[in-house]
Chain A
Amino acid sequence: DGGITQSPKYLFRKEGQNVTLSCEQNLNHDAMYWYRQDPGQGLRLIYYSQIVNDFQKGDIAEGYSVSREKKESFPLTVTSAQKNPTAFYLCAARGPTPSTDTQYFGPGTRLTVL
């Protein structure tokens, strides 16, 4: 999981702003995922992508958007429509083959709304 990077580590957002969280991987894995973690809770799936130029909504996609223009990159935008965005955001990649279920996580981005 050292091959997955997320930036920034900490991010502060003002009300009404859109912010974009970066996720990059050099593992050559096809599938990537975004999860949100709230204090004392498990991880919930926001969006996922199984292949370049394709992505699907997860369980809590409202107020978020993603793109997958390159295999190694899967950025997440938190829009102003997300009413409670303060959370720890984790990106994951699954591989090394499409039949592998194992997901490895990046170090996370902690987003705080001011």
Chain B
Amino acid sequence: GENVEQHPSTLSVQEGDSAVIKCTYSDSASNYFPWYKQELGKRPQLIIDIRSNVGEKKDQRIAVTLNKTAKHFSLHITETQPEDSAVYFCATTSTGTASKLTFGTGTRLQVTL
């Protein structure tokens, strides 16, 4: 089955700096790549997603890039703010698998003042 590795497990940045979280996947058939943000004790919330026919997608301070050849995708957060502090999860799925998501193990992002 699919395997997703996520790095780093923890990331501390100063307010205003950029943060980058990377995920690699094993299944070349994967074609959908969402990113979720989870605050302590809360539900994961979708913040951005990308499909395999697109190399990059941006939404204000958040962007996701996909390298299909290398089988990795990354989340980029610019001008970080304290409210960006949370755990971020990447995930993948592929067509024909009932859209079952395989998740990475999460990155705890801490934005310090």
Contacts and interface: CB of A to CB of B under 8 A. Distances in A.
Contacts of B45: 1, 105
A90 B104 CA distance: 16
Interface of A: 1, 31, 33, 40-45, 48, 50, 56, 58-59, 90, 94, 100-108, 110
A48 B98 CA distance: 9
Contacts of B41: 110
A42 B99 contact: no
Interface in B70-113: 89, 93, 98-101, 103-106
Given A1-B45, A59-B1, A103 B106 contact: no
A13 to B, nearest CB: 19
27 contacts: A1-B46, A42-B4, A42-B89, A42-B103, A42-B105, A44-B103, A45-B100, A48-B100, A50-B98, A90-B44, A101-B34, A101-B49, A101-B99, A102-B34, A102-B49, A103-B34, A103-B46, A103-B99, A104-B46, A105-B36, A105-B44, A106-B43, A107-B42, A107-B43, A108-B42, A108-B43, A110-B41
Q: Is the interface on chain B under 10, 10 to 19, 20 to 34, or 35 or more residues?
A: 20 to 34
A43 B43 contact: no
A102 B89 contact: no
Contact of A41 (B1, B44, B99, B105): B105
Nearest to A6: B43
A90 B89 CA distance: 14
